Amino acid sequence: MKKILITGGLGLVGANYAKFCLDRDDDVYILDNYSHGQASYRNAEWLLSGDKIPVIRKGNIANYMDLAALLGASHGLDAVVHAVSCSSAEPMKDFEAQTVGMFNLLEILRCESPATRVVNLASRRIYDTGKWPVQREGRRCRWVSRRVGPAETFPLDVDAHDLFTAGQISGIYYSRAFADLYDLPIVTLVLSAVYGRHHYGRTASHGGVSWLAIAGELGLPVKVCGDGSATSDMLHVSDVVTAVDRVLDIASVARGSLFNVGGGPSNTVALRELIEMVEDLERRKLHVTYEDAEAEDPTYVTNYEKMLSLGWTPSRGLLDGLSDLVEWVRVEKPILRTLYSVR
């Protein structure tokens, strides 16, 4: 039995990892600011409904005392999963969550619990692939002369042009510095598009697979930038959970390292193809509008060879994962209608 703190533990990855740990009888502590409103409360309710329940504290990772109080309540932690997610709609909150929050977490662990292993979750947007040439191939976009994306040795996007990416990169630099200077056992998982149960998205971009399934079931309109040829690999959240566990095991010897995690070539799909798959599973047409604008990410396919060397590989195929997601959406429909204000 382990003691595990999950920051941002009411989001998609955080909540699913928390449930995984509770099911194996770990003691789970969650710090979350409930920034996703009713969706955060719904995930909290789900986690509190089992035989073993977590300690959930509403707080801000940018507040040092919120972290200190939870660390004190745990009486020592074996591991921390830093799963804080945010958007650039409010720049100060982005900065607080990603930069200040990461520093606070690392500093308090350095002072109070330096042996605690840490997994930091980051986005694939830390890599700058924007200048890689892209070509159309059938209904999909792909890189010219490249099958997969950057390896972990690829330079980070030091010229980041959005606040989210800047915050992600600053967090990685801090984690590497603390690993080098103080031997903190921290590693970073770089995630591609993740989907699965207990995700309440509201956009079709950035792999918003859950939003497509929810919109289809509730009859809500979906807006797509471009013609639907934007192509990405998809990873079911259950595979992220196993990846987190795998790298936690080696955090002490791989401190400061990055590990790419994604669905890879076998789980790659264009957005229009994804919409059609959801339509087939739900047996209804989605109300899709294709806007005359370029997709932000025309293509991305994860290079997870480093994780493959650790014995990890995606275990859930896209069709199987989508079927599981659609089943959850159907069961959750009464709650979803309330969350999305659908009569």
What string of pLDDT tens digits covers the 343 residues of the chain?
A: 899 999 999 999 999 999 999 999 999 999 999 988 888 999 999 999 999 999 999 998 999 999 888 888 777 899 999 998 766 567 888 888 889 999 999 999 999 999 999 999 999 999 989 889 999 999 999 999 999 999 999 988 877 778 888 889 999 999 999 999 999 999 999 999 999 999 987 654 444 899 999 999 999 999 888 899 999 999 999 999 999 999 999 999 999 999 999 999 999 999 999 999 999 999 999 999 998 877 778 999 999 999 999 999 999 999 999 999 999 999 999 999 988 887 6
pLDDT for the residue 207: 41
Closest CA to 192 of 209, 179, 170, 207: 207
- CA 111, 115, 116: angle at the middle one, nearest 5? 90
Q: What are phi and psi of 293, to 5 degrees?
A: -155, 155
- Alpha-carbon gap, residue 234 to 321, rounded angstroms: 9
Every domain of the chain and the residues it spans? 3-339
Give pLDDT tens digits for 126-148. 998 988 999 999 999 999 999 99
Give pLDDT tens digits for 296-313. 789 999 999 999 999 999
pLDDT for the residue 206: 42
Q: What are phi and psi of 249, to 5 degrees?
A: -65, -30
pLDDT for the residue 23: 97
CATH number assigned to the domain with residue range 3-339, chosen from the 4 options 1.10.1740.10, 3.40.120.10, 3.30.1330.10, 3.40.50.720: 3.40.50.720
- Alpha-carbon gap, residue 232 to 207, rounded angstroms: 7
Enter the tokens of residue 185. Answer: 């056992």
